[in-house]
Structure 1
Amino acid sequence: MSLPPFKSGSLLTMGIELELMLLDPQDYTMAPAALTLLDLMRVRQDTRFVFCPEITQGMVEFNSAVHPRWHSLRDELTGMRGFLGALAAECGILIAGGGTHALQDWKDREVFPAERYEWLGEKFGYLSKKFTIFGMHVHIGAGDAETAIALIRAVTPWVPLLIALSAASPYQEGVDTGFACSRLHSLTPFPYAGAMPDFADWGECERYINGLIELGIVGSIKDFYWDVRPKPEFGTIEFRIFDTPLSVDLAADMAGLVQVLCAAMLDSQPLTALHDSYPYNRFQACRYGLAGEMVNPYTGERQSFVDAAEALLKQLEPYARELDATAVLQRMRQRLHDDMLSDVMRNIVAEADGDLKRLLAWQAQCFGAGEILLPGTTKVAAASPV
């Protein structure tokens, strides 16, 4: 089955997919409760919010509506949080964000009984269960197919910086991985992961994908795990690099930042990269978060992620004003000077003498409260609405 036609639509609209973990409140293990939770939603017949299963039963995915601005997305996410929290309480479970479950063992995961997920289980074996990770996918309206390809090319150099800003997955299988974002490395073994090839135009992209479909190597665009990929049936480009934010306010901020970045890139002159620094920059972001560095692919200049982010946020200011997102940039700028979320998570574990259950309890508390709570004192500034 070949790619569908690219759906023409509005530029710079936004929507998100949010993968959330289901926790047992007794021991904070993953609760295989997706079927129960989704069945309860069907019984309620509440059509305000759209949820669907994910590959294993300890997670569900929320799909937002299409929004023109970040604040209407935040309003929907706030309503969703209350709705989901009440249903989860009826099911005897908790909901949490974050990119990984610190204690989960892939051998214990149960694949959700749906045709695609069972097919993935057969195709990828144990990797399909290790795919129980949690991300936020941000969709931005591209207008048309050619704009989508040009926009992906323009935003790609900044993707590692977005990874560094959102990194919140330092633990896997009971171990501190040493990475700020370990989630993305769970995708590395899959075919067609990482950066999308630098296609000249939509026609080249379409021929590439359709050729692999015809060979039976892939079934659809879903089998490409590129960091940013076109989504022709939606008329969007899809950013797949964010760890699930710990609060819905932070999720709205991250999506708002992506929208502003895309607006700026649409208005910029196309540049030709002189250096293939993307793999290095992506590794730095995953390994060190904002404490890492990046090499500018156009100039070869080496700078810290913090310095690169300060310069980028300054560049984005006029576009943020047009999109009513100045507050988003203010909070992102503050994040550059706060402790990284991965470090906050490590501090919580250290203060609990290595008890990872304390970390998972905190993650659930943050989602329930709608804000990132620093233990005992204040909030992470970037999570609080203005």
Structure 2
Amino acid sequence: MPLPPFQSSGLLTMGVELELMLLDPRDYSLAPAALNLLDLMRVRQDNRFVFCPEITQGMVEFNSAIHPRWHTLRDELTAMRGFLTSLASECGIRIAGGGTHALQDWKDREFFPAARYEGLGEKYGYLSKKFTIFGMHVHIGVGDGDTAIELIRAVSPWVPLLIALSCASPYQEGVDTGFACSRLHSLTPFPYSGAMPDFADWAACERYINGLEAWGIVASIKDFYWDIRPKPEFGTIEFRIFDTPLTGDIAADLAGLVQLLCARMLYEKCPVPECDVYPHNRFQACRYGLAGEMVDPYSGERRSFAEAAADLLNQLAPFAGELDAREVLARIRQKLEPGMTQSDAIVQVVKHHNGDLRRLLAWQANCFSSGEITLP
């Protein structure tokens, strides 16, 4: 089916999708409870929040409303947390954020009973079950297809820095991977992952996607796992690089940061990068987080992501007043001072509990339910 027309949307409006873990409080394994939880939501007929299934039964996805400002998104996430925590308790489960479940074994996963997910299982085999990872997708309204392509091109050099700021997945299958963000490497084996090709305009992107659909290689734009992809049916671009944050406030902060970055790139033309340093910077961000090395794509200068982030926050300050986002910059700047990412906090908790990953998962559930990260 050809792509739908690119819808008009409010410029720089935003929304998020959050993939959340469903945990069994007895041993903090992933609980195959998505059907029960979604059924309970239907029985309650509470339409304030939108939840949907994901590929396996140990997870659900929350879809926010559309927001012009980050603080209304934060308010919705806070209310959603209370609603979901209460319903999860009735189902005998707990909810947690984070990019990966530290102990899950892909062989134990069960597909959610829907044609799309069963089709993915048939197409991708074991990779589909290893796709039980947890990300946050941020949508930014762009208004038209050409603006979408221009904006993706402009913000792409900063994607590795966003990864470094948000990493929260150091453990997989009971092992410290040594990566601050291991989740994104679960996407690497899939076709059409990583950076989107540099299309000249929306028409070129549309021809590319429609051509692959016509040949039966992909079924829809959902089969493109690019770090940022256009979403014509929503009139947005979608950032897909974030690990699900440990708290709703962090999710709102990161969405607000993306909104500010997009505002700057819309109104300040950036030069064309001298070299393609994206693969290097992306790897460094996933491997080391804020301590990684970022090579400036325009000058070749090398500095840590923490230093680059501090500089970027200063560059975004002129746009923060109009978007009511000064607090976003202040909150992210506070996190830069100790230089501790969410992944660093996760590793610290595991060390405190002598390697007990179940205690880690209980702590992650506590972070979600309380809305705060408290280190032992």
Shorter chain as denominator, the TM-score bin is over 0.9
How many Å apart are 1:340 and its aligned residue? 2.0
Say if 2:354 is the partner of 1:353.
yes
Once residues 373 and 254 of structure 1 are traced to their aligned partners in structure 2, the CA distance between those partners, rounded to angstroms, is: 19
Say if 2:142 is the partner of 1:142.
yes
Partner of 2:370: 369
Q: Which amino acid aligns with 2:363?
A: W
Once residues 280 and 10 of structure 1 are traced to their aligned partners in structure 2, the CA distance between those partners, rounded to angstroms, is: 34
Q: Deviations over 1:25-76 (max 9, x none)?
A: 0100000000000000000000000000000000000000000000000111
- Residue range with higher mean Cα deviation, 261-270 or 63-72: 261-270
Once residues 236 and 115 of structure 2 are traced to their aligned partners in structure 1, the CA distance between those partners, rounded to angstroms, is: 26
Q: Secondary structure of 1:11's match?
A: coil
Partner of 2:95: 95
How many Å apart are 1:273 and its aligned residue? 1.4
Q: Secondary structure of 1:362's match?
A: helix
Once residues 301 and 56 of structure 2 are traced to their aligned partners in structure 1, the CA distance between those partners, rounded to angstroms, is: 43
- TM-score of the two chains, using structure 1 as the length reference: 0.96
Once residues 268 and 108 of structure 1 are traced to their aligned partners in structure 2, the CA distance between those partners, rounded to angstroms, is: 49
Partner of 2:47: 47
Partner of 1:201: 201
Q: Which runs of 5+ in 1 are unaligned?
A: 376-386
Q: Deviations over 1:207-248 (max 9, x none)?
A: 111110011000111000000000000000000000000000
- 2:17–2:136 contact (8 Å) kept in structure 1: yes
Partner of 1:384: none
Aligned residue runs from structure 1 range 76-115, under 5 A: 76-115=76-115
Partner of 1:235: 235
Q: Which amino acid aligns with 1:5?
A: P
- 2:246–2:342 contact (8 Å) kept in structure 1: no
- 2:21–2:134 contact (8 Å) kept in structure 1: yes
How many Å apart are 1:274 and its aligned residue? 1.2
- TM-score of the two chains, using structure 2 as the length reference: 0.99
Once residues 115 and 270 of structure 1 are traced to their aligned partners in structure 2, the CA distance between those partners, rounded to angstroms, is: 43
- 2:139–2:238 contact (8 Å) kept in structure 1: yes
Q: What percentage of residue pairs aligned between the two structures are identical?
A: 77
Q: How many residues align?
A: 375
How many Å apart are 1:353 and its aligned residue? 1.1
- What root-mean-square deviation, in Å, do the aligned CA atoms of Structure 1 and Structure 2 show? 0.7
Partner of 1:219: 219
Once residues 318 and 44 of structure 2 are traced to their aligned partners in structure 1, the CA distance between those partners, rounded to angstroms, is: 44
Say if 2:282 is the partner of 1:285.
no
Q: Secondary structure of 2:66's match?
A: coil
Once residues 307 and 351 of structure 1 are traced to their aligned partners in structure 2, the CA distance between those partners, rounded to angstroms, is: 29
Once residues 207 and 76 of structure 1 are traced to their aligned partners in structure 2, the CA distance between those partners, rounded to angstroms, is: 38
How many Å apart are 1:280 and its aligned residue? 0.4
Once residues 296 and 155 of structure 2 are traced to their aligned partners in structure 1, the CA distance between those partners, rounded to angstroms, is: 13
Once residues 371 and 353 of structure 2 are traced to their aligned partners in structure 1, the CA distance between those partners, rounded to angstroms, is: 23
Q: List 4+ stretches of structure 1 deviating above 4 A.
A: none
Once residues 8 and 348 of structure 2 are traced to their aligned partners in structure 1, the CA distance between those partners, rounded to angstroms, is: 47
How many Å apart are 1:102 and its aligned residue? 0.1
Partner of 2:301: 301
